[in-house]
Amino acid sequence: MERRRVTTGQALAALGLVLLGLVVGWLTAGDGGDSSDGKGAANAGPTDTVEGVPVGYERSREGAVAAAVNYGAVLAEPAYVADARRRSEILTAIATDDFARRYKDAPGLADVAETPLYRGAREGVRTIWTGAPLGYRVERYSDDEAVVFLWSVAIAGSAQVKPQAAFSSGSTTLRWDGEDWKVAAGRNEVGPVPAPLEGTQATSGDEFTTRLSDLQGLRHAP
């Protein structure tokens, strides 16, 4: 059977949706400002890391939002797509057992990993991956289950691939497992997508990576 060709744009869209119904985001910070420890408002979490994954969230609305955003940041790692061992570590840390089993070998990952963006990164091509949550709302909350809706953007490009942006929105269901919030389900779709500013055009991949290669990621607070 002929293998379906996945374009760079489709790969970035997959990154934007984080493949599992979560969104891209950076670590939360308290009081709407920057924070060196990444802890959310009112100590909502995280309080620890496991295999590089921020864990340990408060059993509260704020804790559920912090978990959804932080888990999205980890799922945005390129290694999540390209490295089966890393993918298993991440899912073990953030998801319910059922969710982890269903998505550790998610269909299409191998195709995405072979797009020019991922292949170039493996070969040492200068590549930038970044993203941020743009807004959220808590659609449902109890002490046992929370549903968090987020709108996010993912941006990626390399010296060989022009930068592209993917906007996504959707809801993440988290369940309290007795110790922490865990991802139990996700529903996502592309958009809403704003039009480019009139009169602007995309930066070349080489300029994109040259000008932004030394930037540090910002931390966002819900």
Domain extents in the chain: 8-190+200-212
pLDDT in tens, 139-161: 999 999 999 998 888 888 899 88
CA end-to-end distance (rounded Å), the chain: 46
Q: Over 70: is that where the pLDDT of 10 sits?
A: no
pLDDT computed for residue 104 by the predictor: 81
Average pLDDT, stretch 95-110? 83
Distance from C-alpha of 34 to C-alpha of 45, rounded to nearest angstrom: 15
More confident residue, 157 or 16: 157
Q: How far apart are CA 33 and CA 40, in angstroms?
A: 10
pLDDT value at residue 36? 34
Q: What is the pLDDT of residue 107?
A: 67
Beta-strand pair 53-55/127-141? unpaired
Average pLDDT rounded to a whole number, residues 10-17: 48
Q: pLDDT digits over 109-142, tens only?
A: 777 788 888 888 889 999 888 878 888 999 999 9
pLDDT-based confidence at 2, cuts 50/70/90?
very low
pLDDT of residue 217: 64
The per-residue pLDDT for 89 is 94
Q: Is the dihedral of CA 28, 33, 36, 42 positive or negative?
A: negative
- State the average pLDDT over residues 82-94: 91
Share of the chain above pLDDT 90, in %: 37
Predicted TM-score (pTM) of the model is 0.78
Mean residue pLDDT of the chain comes to 79
Q: Cα 66–77–222 angle (5° rounding)? A: 20
Count helices and strands in the chain by DSSP H and E runs: 8, 6
pLDDT at residue number 218 = 60
Q: What angle do CA 170, 175, 180 make, to 5 degrees?
A: 115
The pLDDT tens digits for 20-51 are: 333 333 222 233 333 334 444 558 999 999 98
- Express each pLDDT in 173-215 by its tens digit: 999 999 999 999 988 788 899 998 999 988 999 998 999 888 7
Which amino acid type is present at position 148? V
Give the residue from 73, 75, 40, 32 showing the smallest Cα distance to 58: 40
